[in-house]
Structure 1
């Protein structure tokens, strides 16, 4: 009976501890999410429902490694986060052989950008001017109104700030990390369609000219990329990844924020 009571108490303590741990983990996750989000200024509006050009969603979730891939990743001395390399490992099949004693093989998988470490993430809300609407009310006696209407289709492109090997892989890792830190919809290429408009009105006083400038915002990402030569090593039934000739390179990127426009309104006595 005493043993049964001890087992019950132990189980209750375990459940209680697990509940507290889950609650604490949830609070920690919420805290990280809150700290990573960027506060959007009032001058920036979401045009995803108004944009006449439907931008494709840039869905780059973290690729979940398979059981074998995770085992291999755990053997590496260098952190591996490259989605394309993880995908290759997910597609790899290695069968255990009962008579594999003495069997050895080293397979060169190529030189890869292995991971990206973010050092600084900031937002330029006026990265590129995309439109100007104006109203000349210098001869008027009552206020006029002006609102945003996109006068021409505008393509906004970002990119890396320096040449680097495997640039597409590097861009994917940088965008993933930047998305996690900002919680913003990012894309290296976004389009604002002709005729896109918002109903928000700006008043132009008599004897004045009003200029409504529209800008595409972008995230400036800076950090370090680690490269290395990746080898798959088989010894009997043991499998591991060995990374050789590890190098690091600093890199930056501009990544436009998709379907967001920043506005600046200026009143003037004369043409600008």
Structure 2
């Protein structure tokens, strides 16, 4: 009987250890979990925001061969799109062909080092009610008083900023699984049925915030050339540089609420 109890304790300890290890393996997933104070307003929003999905652009066979020939990684969707629209035909007279085509300096890829949510990135609304003279609790609801435009952006000036922003948003969306956009709008009159009770003899404040992702990482630039030697075609990247960059990217159609009840005005 004693051995059976000891075996049970060992098994229980091992199960608890495994559970702790699994919880420690996914700390990032918990960081992106939407808190209960954050509500989705996509259906209620009086301003219909367009979706900002940026699907990964599939390279053509020609482009894929070029990308594989490069010693530097290339993930820029606009550069891949340009290569997809290009072609070099093989001919029996190409044996002596020599050509170098300069495509310009491009941001080649973005490497993410940190993706952190800020659920109270920007205050967009305050609802207020004075129930100090009331005889019963007052039920407050969220109502957006004025249209609010919430913009994100890069934290520093970089070359080819639009390309960099696209790559950063792709990485941030992939890691966080949240609907992101560099601009999102909350329309006037947007409402939510969530109830916040204001007791008698107190004032109620309902603050609404737009959440956002703080994305940080490094972007790699390089001068891109297509080199033709007979039937051989390859991409050569020269003068490679790396620059640190950050960005704020709002979470689309989501609002974080904070309710405060007090005896005195704030």
Q: Give a deviation string over 1:144-166, Cα, whole Å, max 9, x none.
A: 11010000000000000000000
Aligned length: 241
Q: Distance in 1 between matches of 2:150 and 2:29?
A: 28
Q: CA deviation at 1:97?
A: 1.1
What 5-or-longer segments of structure 1 have no aligned partner?
A: 1-30
Q: Is the 8 A contact 2:31 2:116 kept in 1?
A: no
Q: CA deviation at 1:104?
A: 0.6
Partner of 1:155: 149
User: Which among 114, 125, 129 is matched to residue 119 of structure 2?
Assistant: 125
**C-alpha RMSD over aligned residues:** 1.4
Whether 1:207 and 2:207 are equivalent positions in the alignment is: no
1:243 alignment partner, SS class: strand
Q: Distance in 1 between matches of 2:172 and 2:101?
A: 33
Q: CA deviation at 1:73?
A: 0.2
Q: Distance in 1 between matches of 2:249 and 2:84?
A: 29
Q: Is the 8 A contact 1:155 1:189 kept in 2?
A: yes
User: Which among 93, 98, 102 is matched to residue 96 of structure 2?
Assistant: 102
TM-score (norm 2): 0.89
Runs of 4+ in structure 1 off by over 6 angstroms are: none
2:192 alignment partner, SS class: strand
Q: Is the 8 A contact 1:37 1:181 kept in 2?
A: no
Q: Give a deviation string over 1:107-135, Cα, whole Å, max 9, x none.
A: 00000000000000000000000000011
Q: Distance in 2 between matches of 1:38 and 1:94?
A: 45
Map residues 118-267 of structure 1 onto 2, 5 A cutoff: 118-267=112-261
Q: CA deviation at 1:101?
A: 1.2
Partner of 1:23: none
What 5-or-longer segments of structure 2 have no aligned partner?
A: 1-24
TM-score (norm 1): 0.87
Q: Is the 8 A contact 2:31 2:117 kept in 1?
A: no
Q: Is the 8 A contact 1:73 1:80 kept in 2?
A: yes
